[in-house]
């Protein structure tokens, strides 16, 4: 399992930036005349061409397209009209935009606070040597196999007040209008999303913890450090880069949750769970306002990039240094 255990994990994106730097430096004349026997093979260009063309047309072009479309008005069927800042003006003045944005921020913070400590704990636990923990790791992984639609449908019936868990376990406390109450529904969402994604982050942390040299723990034991002390003085500091990676994925992921909320609540009750990506879909494909939906999409991209860079920056300069070394 080579890819599983990053000693110095890196987000590939920032790795790319590190890589790009030397390329951008203007080569001296001698360099470009004789690039150390490196010729441009026409066959290499041909091999890369299908992927490059496909990627440019169906990934990069849509990314540009969404910016262009945010300056238009389009109902999804008729002609697309350039209307300047009209869609943007509408986007920024409607209350659902700000509501959706606020909910996305709540989602990001709550998801992180809930999932990070649990994932570290479970990852550290799974990294132990005992054989049975491998079996646990296999079972933990199961939620990652299911589609969000399947998960949402499952929990919907599990939470049914009359024929679900509340009746089965005879616990009246669980007998709530889970999806009809604007506060409870958030508890449900956060729980289901944690159920779905904690296994993934646990996996990352497990890989990282098992990379920590055993000798560090042995030294700590000689110094008389207990289990808890070892965790806070060795394990946690050693997980710093993994924490950055996992947090970036978590935060950017939380920005784009769609399937589960769409199937579970459709944004309801009312607009209680209409987070930004869902608002974008509903506005564009149900409300037929593709211009506004595009403006919302641009916001998503910008916030996503900003958050990713922000988390990396929080991690400090060491992160990029270790990436260089690992590249």
Partner 1 sequence: MRRNWIGGTFGWLWLVVVLLPLYFVLITSLKSISTYFGSNPVLPSLPLAVENVTAVLEADFTQYLLNSVLVAVGTVVPLVLMAFMASYSIVRGTRRVFGPVRSLFLLGLAIPVQATIVPIYLMIIRMHMYDSLVALMIPAIAFGLPLSILIISNSLRDVPRELFEAMDIDGSTEWQKMWRLAFPIVRPALVTVAVYQALMSWNGFLFPLILTQSPDKRTLPLALWSFQGEYATNVPVVMAAVVLSSIPIVILYAFGRRYLVSGMTAGSGK
Q: Between residue 84 and residue 123, which ones bind partner 1 under the rule CB under 8 A?
A: 118, 121-122
Q: Judged by CB under 8 A, which stretch of 1-9, 82-90, 91-99, 174-182 contacts partner 1?
A: 1-9
Instruction: Based on the shown chain and the rule CB under 8 A, indicate whether residue 258 belongs to the binding site for partner 1.
Output: yes
**Nearest CA to 82 among 72, 67, 68?**
72
Applying the rule CB under 8 A, the residues between 187 and 206 that interact with partner 1 are 195, 198-200, 203-204
**Nearest CA to 80 among 91, 69, 64, 88?**
69
Q: Write 263-266 long-range contacts (CB < 8 A, 24+).
A: 263/148, 263/149, 263/152, 263/153, 264/152, 264/155, 264/156, 264/179, 264/188, 264/189, 264/192, 265/179, 265/185, 265/189
Q: Judged by CB under 8 A, which stretch of 89-97, 102-110, 177-185, 223-231 contacts partner 1?
A: 223-231
Instruction: Based on the shown chain and the rule CB under 8 A, indicate whether residue 148 belongs to the binding site for partner 1.
Output: yes
Instruction: Based on the shown chain and the rule CB under 8 A, indicate whether residue 60 belongs to the binding site for partner 1.
Output: yes
Cα–Cα distance, 90 to 252 (Å, whole number)? 25
Query: Which residue from 29, 33, 50, 173 is in contact with partner 1, where contact means CB under 8 A?
Result: 50
Query: Which residue from 239, 284, 312, 319 is in contact with partner 1, where contact means CB under 8 A?
Result: 284
- At 82, phi and psi to the nearest 5? -75, 125
Q: Write 12-20 long-range contacts (CB < 8 A, 24+).
A: 13/308, 14/312, 14/319, 14/320, 14/323, 15/323, 15/326, 15/327, 18/320, 18/323, 18/324, 18/327, 19/327
Q: Judged by CB under 8 A, which stretch of 81-89, 99-107, 139-147, 313-321 contacts partner 1?
A: 139-147
Going by C-beta distance under 8 Å and a sequence separation of 6 or more, which residues neighbour residue 315?
240, 241, 243, 244
In the bound state with partner 1, the residue whose beta carbon lies nearer, of 124 and 272, is 124
Instruction: Based on the shown chain and the rule CB under 8 A, indicate whether residue 61 belongs to the binding site for partner 1.
Output: yes
Cα–Cα distance, 69 to 58 (Å, whole number)? 16
Query: Which residue from 85, 109, 113, 301 is in contact with partner 1, where contact means CB under 8 A?
Result: 301
Q: Judged by CB under 8 A, which stretch of 96-104, 105-113, 167-175, 181-189 contacts partner 1?
A: 167-175
Instruction: Based on the shown chain and the rule CB under 8 A, indicate whether residue 158 belongs to the binding site for partner 1.
Output: yes
Query: Which residue from 44, 85, 102, 213 is in contact with partner 1, where contact means CB under 8 A?
Result: 44
CB-neighbour burial class of residue 283 (10 A; exposed 0-12, middle 13-18, buried 19+)? buried
In the bound state with partner 1, the residue whose beta carbon lies nearer, of 90 and 160, is 160
Instruction: Based on the shown chain and the rule CB under 8 A, indicate whether residue 30 belongs to the binding site for partner 1.
Output: no
Distance in Å, CB of 85 to partner 1, minimum: 18
Distance in Å, CB of 279 to partner 1, minimum: 11
Instruction: Based on the shown chain and the rule CB under 8 A, indicate whether residue 268 belongs to the binding site for partner 1.
Output: no
In the bound state with partner 1, the residue whose beta carbon lies nearer, of 175 and 184, is 175
Query: Which residue from 29, 30, 40, 222 is in contact with partner 1, where contact means CB under 8 A?
Result: 40
**Nearest CA to 179 among 171, 168, 187, 170?**
187
Applying the rule CB under 8 A, the residues between 7 and 26 that interact with partner 1 are 8-13, 15-17, 19-20, 22-23
Distance in Å, CB of 237 to partner 1, minimum: 18
Query: Which residue from 262, 275, 311, 312 is in contact with partner 1, where contact means CB under 8 A?
Result: 262
């Amino acid at each position: 399992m080579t890819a599983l255990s990053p000693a110095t994990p890196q987000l590939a994106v920032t790795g790319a930036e590190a890589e790009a730097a030397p390329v951008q430096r203007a080569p001296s004349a001698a360099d470009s005349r004789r690039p150390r026997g490196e010729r441009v093979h026409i066959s290499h260009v041909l091999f890369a061409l299908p992927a490059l063309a496909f990627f440019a047309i169906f990934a990069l072009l849509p990314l540009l397209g969404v910016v262009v479309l945010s300056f238009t008005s389009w109902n999804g069927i008729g002609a697309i009209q350039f209307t300047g800042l009209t869609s943007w003006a509408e986007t920024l003045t409607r209350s659902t935009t700000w509501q959706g944005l606020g909910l996305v921020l709540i989602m990001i913070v709550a998801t992180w606070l809930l999932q990070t400590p649990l994932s570290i704990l479970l990852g550290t636990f799974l990294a132990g040597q005992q054989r049975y923990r491998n079996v646990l790791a296999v079972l933990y992984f199961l939620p990652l196999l299911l589609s969000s639609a399947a998960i949402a449908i499952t929990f919907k019936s599990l939470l049914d007040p009359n024929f679900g868990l509340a009746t089965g376990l005879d616990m009246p406390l669980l007998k709530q209008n889970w999806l009809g109450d604007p506060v409870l529904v958030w508890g449900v969402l956060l729980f289901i999303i944690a159920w779905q994604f904690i296994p993934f982050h646990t996996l990352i942390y497990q890989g990282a913890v098992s990379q920590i040299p055993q000798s560090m723990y042995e030294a700590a034991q000689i110094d008389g450090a207990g289990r808890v002390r070892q965790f806070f003085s060795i394990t946690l500091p050693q997980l710093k880069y993994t924490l950055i990676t996992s947090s970036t994925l978590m935060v950017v992921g939380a920005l784009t949750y769609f399937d589960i909320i769409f199937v579970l609540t459709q944004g309801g009750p009312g607009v209680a769970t209409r987070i930004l990506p869902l608002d974008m879909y509903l506005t564009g494909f149900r409300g037929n306002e593709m211009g506004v939906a595009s403006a919302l999409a641009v916001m998503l991209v910008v916030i996503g990039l900003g958050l990713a860079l922000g988390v990396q920056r929080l991690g400090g300069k060491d992160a990029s240094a270790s990436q260089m070394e690992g590249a």
